[in-house]
Amino acid sequence: MENKNIKAIFFDAADTLFYIKDGLGNTYAEPAKKYGVNPDPDDLKKAFSKHFPSAPPLAFETKNNEELKVLEKAWWYNVVHNVYSDIGMFEEFDDYFDDLFETFRTTAWKIYPETKDVLSELKSREYKIVVVSNFDSRIYDVCRGMDILGQFDDFVISSESGYAKPSVEIFQLALKRNGIIATDCVHIGDNYMNDYICPNSIGMNTIFLDRDNEHPDKDIHKIKDLNELLKILN
């Protein structure tokens, strides 16, 4: 990677810039208590791990903003409904889901300690900064709530773009929209296939974010936090 050629930094979002602060199982379980249900967080996590990967891509063709929001919420409704169909459905599920959906727009997330400073430093170095993520339009509210929305030059998210990782088209769209060629860009993310193999296959520089050293066997370009990115770019 020739650092002098790098003009843009692409980031994944969840588990790269921010994370679910109480863990997925606990975050799903907490609002259920309001409806007299007390699901086991481990059961929720296990069921989610089954149904989330098997769901169709979170990617839609519509350009109508209101229709998009309906499709996004319906997509997540199906995932969460399947989770509770496994562990035990309850009468007020629809009201619970509305609460949960809004939780993931607001309080579910926590920013990693170094994210703000790293983004600010990259901005000061005049890199173009872009989010490329399998996310829905709630990402704007999430980033606004963390006071990082203004750090990004563009958001290329699956629900709006019509493409989801590991489809290379989402990266090709991000490059085209921002006037960047693949070799002048670095993408950083925590999913080995989606954020390392996929963009690398079209010539992008890729860095695997492995915060918990879950893949010590992989002899690849990886970092344990975003501060290490700044050292690489020096």
Task: Assess whether pLDDT exceeds 90 at residue 3.
Answer: no
Q: Which DSSP letter does residue 195 get?
A: I
Residue 234 and residue 32: Cα distance in Å, rounded?
Answer: 48
- Following CA atoms 24, 27, 30, 32 in sequence, which dihedral angle do they give, to the nearest 10 degrees? -70
194-215: pLDDT as tens digits:
999 999 999 999 999 999 988 7
* pLDDT at position 163: 98
Over range 153-170, report the average pLDDT.
98
| pLDDT(223) > 80 | yes
Contacting residues for 107 by C-beta, under 8 A, at least 6 apart? none
Per the DSSP assignment, residues forming a β-bridge with 156 are 132
pLDDT above 70 for 218: no
**What pLDDT, in 10s, does the model give residues 46-105?**
999 999 999 999 999 998 999 999 999 999 999 999 999 999 999 999 999 999 999 999
Q: What is the pLDDT of residues 91-142, one digit of tens each?
A: 999 999 999 999 999 999 999 999 999 999 999 999 999 999 999 999 999 9
Contacts of 121 (CB under 8 A, 6+ apart): 230
What is the share, in percent, of the chain residues with pLDDT greater than 70?
Answer: 98
Residue 1 binned pLDDT confidence (cut-offs 50, 70, 90)? low
Helix 65-87 vs helix 41-54: crossing angle, to nearest 10: 130
- pLDDT-derived band at 2, boundaries 50, 70, 90: low
Domains of the chain, earliest start first: 3-19+109-233 (3.40.50.1000), 22-103 (1.10.150.720)
- Report pTM: 0.96
Would the pLDDT of 216 be above 80? no
Mean pLDDT rounded to a whole number for the chain: 96
